[in-house]
Structure 1
């Protein structure tokens, strides 16, 4: 229990800007961070900036705010990438190398966020192993993906932290407003992930309104903060959405064609309706693996059915869960819904799902044990 409280204090100190001693860190967090750093240093892993970032750097240079205010479709994501180019130019280092170092720091920060969210939502009992399991899975994930999505994942976690910590502390603090704002900014590396982040930000207020109206009544500044955050990003969200709709034809059927860019295409192809969509290939896979992965959703349905047979009741779970846990539920639902239109949005639910699974592992195993008797 002492170590659990220490884990919560470490996350508090990191997010609030207070001091933090390295000896207090989890060994898994240290291992994951140093292992990723080592792979970057020896050249086994490189997080590369995408072509859009390079094009903006070459055409805009040191004017990220100017291009942001001009309404350029890539202005928001360039604001996120610009510090990498600026540091690389100052230190005379390759931008991709600087970006890789940044991703190592992002993984470390995400580990601290997971620790804090876990304590806020599930409490300190069993916190250490839950956190370490999720952190290890995040390390594996980071080895398999590009840095752009890592930034979006971090943004999503920041928004979950803002809501879950507010629900627990029952006081809306500047750190919550900053977390929601920074979360949407980091998620702005993609139009789809930005929309998901904005939806989850609005969900913070929705969950409070539905489950604890007194909390919202005592903290009206929370709703004002979220509204201002959404107002700052809604313009770029609409620009990105319009750009995507135009790319897929700009007519009434464009929304359905967009399904081919995400998991919706898998489902359509699985039931023989793939010809109705302009489908993109599964990212990074091909051949037999791609033909199998299109049926991922069948596994989700099967797993849900089995869980239901062993006592899992989703509606009851939502009704009996606290606001923090329901915010995690909402983050997974938003990712799954948005994932129909884009794989990157679907992956946004990966870490919240890991936290949900680790937080519910003990009661689920208890149900299996009882049913087996």
Structure 2
């Protein structure tokens, strides 16, 4: 059992890191800004209704950030400040969700330790990103937590089996609408993951969580027109046919010079080349991590859906990354999950080897005496 002082230490570190980030936001040391598309819609007085949500290409996105304007008007604080505080809340949500993901896969002695490390990582990451990507990372974290709950808690009943996964996948779907690339990739991965879960459960004759499957199917049926609207918007913007697909790759990994999704991207060519190299390095790193993860878990990859899921997400995101850098950045979520799993695995192997070495040394010493 982990000593209480260690728990208190990481708990204090977590709250200290959170307080530090809040102070940085409140004193304008770091700020996030509402993007121009949303600001234009707000200034134009776009009404939020079924028509705007389903027919306007940015309607769902505007719905998602509308609470920022409502709170801003209520407390008389700049919308950008409210958005920045929302981003801090997103980082907390990501850390909690991923901590529960790891805890559902393996025994975790100190939840506060994982909370602190995950929060610190995504907080530092957010310093180099715009607000949209943090919403997307939160969506993917909630999706992972929901999937792990559905698979791991299939024999339980109540909140953890039905209500919580339904809420998580609903919020994840809503948050993913912050970006066309994030929304489309989220939709594809979530829908295909459900199909794979059904196939896995049917093959092993496991109990299927039908209420969640039915709920998610209805949710995605209602969300499909929005995805089709986003696809149509992208195709209309980039042209038609093969040329449209080729033009879309100018926003992703196949682009010669990335236009970037980082805040620090400048307008000069040197800045574009620099950010393109960063994205390329990230892509290579994600691919290397995926290969290492698949190799180390090759015996459990097919039999254990909790092992298969992060690898599957990573593979799909890498395959879709040529169309948008924002999709590539979502790979940080499965990357963190896989890295944590690998770290635990290597730690277990190292501990086993050390114990084996001690046993053999003790045995040799006993024989000598």
TM-score bracket relative to the smaller structure: 0.7 to 0.9
How far residue 327 of structure 1 moved from its aligned partner, in angstroms, is: 1.9
State the SS of the aligned residue for 1:318: coil
Q: Is the 8 A contact 1:208 1:215 kept in 2?
A: no
Identify the residue that residue 239 of structure 1 maps to in structure 2: 229
The separation in 1 between residues aligned to 2:232 and 2:132, in whole angstroms, is: 21
- Measured against aligned partners, the alpha-carbon deviations of 1:107-157 in whole angstroms (never above 9, x if no partner) come to 122221121111012332576544433322111011111111111111111
Identify the residue that residue 190 of structure 2 maps to in structure 1: 201
How far residue 102 of structure 1 moved from its aligned partner, in angstroms, is: 1.3
Unaligned stretches of 5+ in structure 1? 8-22, 270-278
- Measured against aligned partners, the alpha-carbon deviations of 1:146-200 in whole angstroms (never above 9, x if no partner) come to 1111111111111111110121111541221121111011100111111122123
Identify the residue that residue 336 of structure 1 maps to in structure 2: 318
In structure 2, do the counterparts of structure 1 residues 301 and 229 end up closer, same or farther at CA, with 3 Å as the change threshold?
closer
Match of 1:312 among 295, 298, 303: 295
How far residue 291 of structure 1 moved from its aligned partner, in angstroms, is: 6.2
How far residue 59 of structure 1 moved from its aligned partner, in angstroms, is: 1.5
Indicate yes or no: 2:30 matched with 1:45.
yes
TM-score for both structures, normalised by structure 2: 0.81
The separation in 2 between residues aligned to 1:338 and 1:142, in whole angstroms, is: 22
Aligned residue pair count: 339
Identify the residue that residue 296 of structure 1 maps to in structure 2: 281
The separation in 2 between residues aligned to 1:111 and 1:306, in whole angstroms, is: 25
Q: Is the 8 A contact 1:205 1:223 kept in 2?
A: yes
In structure 2, do the counterparts of structure 1 residues 368 and 250 end up closer, same or farther at CA, with 3 Å as the change threshold?
farther
Identify the residue that residue 350 of structure 1 maps to in structure 2: 332
TM-score for both structures, normalised by structure 1: 0.80
In structure 2, do the counterparts of structure 1 residues 199 and 77 end up closer, same or farther at CA, with 3 Å as the change threshold?
same
In structure 2, do the counterparts of structure 1 residues 167 and 303 end up closer, same or farther at CA, with 3 Å as the change threshold?
closer
The separation in 2 between residues aligned to 1:118 and 1:105, in whole angstroms, is: 20
State the SS of the aligned residue for 1:178: helix
Q: Is the 8 A contact 2:136 2:182 kept in 1?
A: yes
State the SS of the aligned residue for 2:241: coil
Identify the residue that residue 174 of structure 2 maps to in structure 1: 185
Structure exhibiting the larger radius of gyration computed from Cα positions: 2
* Aligned CA-pair RMSD: 3.2
Identify the residue that residue 42 of structure 2 maps to in structure 1: 57
Unaligned stretches of 5+ in structure 2? 358-369
Q: Is the 8 A contact 2:10 2:112 kept in 1?
A: no
